[in-house]
Structure 1
């Protein structure tokens, strides 16, 4: 399955891995079809050494919002997070919901986050946002991107 995040900065295309993360991909697709991600700001950017990512999927924009349900981790055994990875953000084991992160530089994280796809187009857009920096407001590191990124629409395609 393919997804496109149409943002105010340009399109980010994703190839979703339903073979290795079926629950995650199905949840993402369900939410996308319900327009859940539309008109939401990506609320956290990290450009720290070892973690280069943009986090999205929280309709509240605070980092604590979600769809009202959670599901188990998938595809985490031996997981790595190289440039181009799409993975679920979580607050611990089995707490996946709607928040996900887009990795725009090789990142060192423990294998605790469900990898459910990769970025096929738009890395340059993410790198540009990364170069713009963050406001330092997140206690987990990073903060809101200084160059605001808003998901305007999410589309899905079988191929």
Structure 2
């Protein structure tokens, strides 16, 4: 039977392990690059160099109870407030030139958000199978306008989806970078839209994770107002702060393509549960239906 001294020593070792695990999880919750190759770089530098970030949840060493608690703590996305029937968009020059020849959207004024223009149907063909998208003009018209413009200029054609995460709270496939490094973009940037625009500036709740549901299509960024061409598809329910513009959904029938890619896994090249897809994913074309 262990003595009191032995019990105290065991308790001390257990506490030290718990503290170490908490510190490691806190470190992993910090922002990391989409490319995963420059961990720890500050956002100010990222905005200049074009490095894109996502906020990662708890690491995959969490216990079942900790993972359950993290999921329960994420709120549903806020209801979107109605936008005007026509909106004007601003596309600013980025910190670095385009990594593939492309122009800013030719139309930036009077973008419609209602009626037959509220939804835009798009077909994205990949070497792994088709992915049908429905873009939401009613909630994120400037993002949709940019995506459609890039697609019409064949910007996405021949580009690889360079990152996939397989964490309990972050399951995404990252695409839209012609360099395949996580640092590429179209040479222009624009502001966040839904759900970021549902929060007042400085509202602390804008940093609290919300649910990004399976099938969500959203933008990656290097901080507020730095959206470009990189986007991610959520293949499994995830939790992120509402700092990533949601601009559409993947059609239900197309989730089979994402599930196939996810099942093959990723190479952990950016760390546990984060790397390049084991099955290379190349976008062959993106066309309006």
Same fold by TM-score greater than 0.5: yes
Aligned to 2:211: 80
Aligned to 1:24: 143
Query: Where has structure 1 moved over 6 Å in runs of 4 or more?
Result: none
Alpha-carbon distance, 1:80 to partner: 3.4
- Structure 1, 128-137 or 50-59: larger mean CA deviation: 128-137
2:176 to 54, 57, 71: 57
Q: Distance in 2 between matches of 1:49 and 1:129?
A: 17
Partner SS, residue 238 of structure 2: coil
* TM-score when normalising by structure 1: 0.94
Aligned to 2:286: 154
Alpha-carbon distance, 1:141 to partner: 6.1
Q: Deviations over 1:129-155 (max 9, x none)?
A: 111111122369611100111000111
Unaligned runs of 5+ in 2: 1-119, 200-209
- Structure 1, 132-141 or 27-36: larger mean CA deviation: 132-141
More helix, by proportion? 2
Distance of aligned partners of 1:26 and 1:139 in 2 relative to their CA distance in 1, 3 Å threshold: farther
* TM-score when normalising by structure 2: 0.52
Q: Distance in 2 between matches of 1:28 and 1:73?
A: 14
Pairing 1:84-95 to 2, within 5 Å after superposition = 84-95=215-226
Partner SS, residue 75 of structure 1: coil
- Structure 1, 124-133 or 84-93: larger mean CA deviation: 124-133
Q: Distance in 2 between matches of 1:95 and 1:128?
A: 31
Alpha-carbon distance, 1:58 to partner: 0.2
RMSD value, Cα: 1.5
Q: Distance in 2 between matches of 1:52 and 1:42?
A: 14
Distance of aligned partners of 1:90 and 1:74 in 2 relative to their CA distance in 1, 3 Å threshold: same
Q: Deviations over 1:56-90 (max 9, x none)?
A: 00000000000000100000237631001000011
Distance of aligned partners of 1:96 and 1:140 in 2 relative to their CA distance in 1, 3 Å threshold: farther
Aligned to 1:100: 231
Partner SS, residue 270 of structure 2: coil
Unaligned runs of 5+ in 1: none
Aligned to 2:156: 37
Higher relative contact order (CA 8 A, sep 6+): 1
Aligned to 1:131: 263
Q: Deviations over 1:83-120 (max 9, x none)?
A: 01000011111110000001111001111100000001
Partner SS, residue 126 of structure 1: helix
Q: Distance in 1 between matches of 2:152 and 2:272?
A: 30
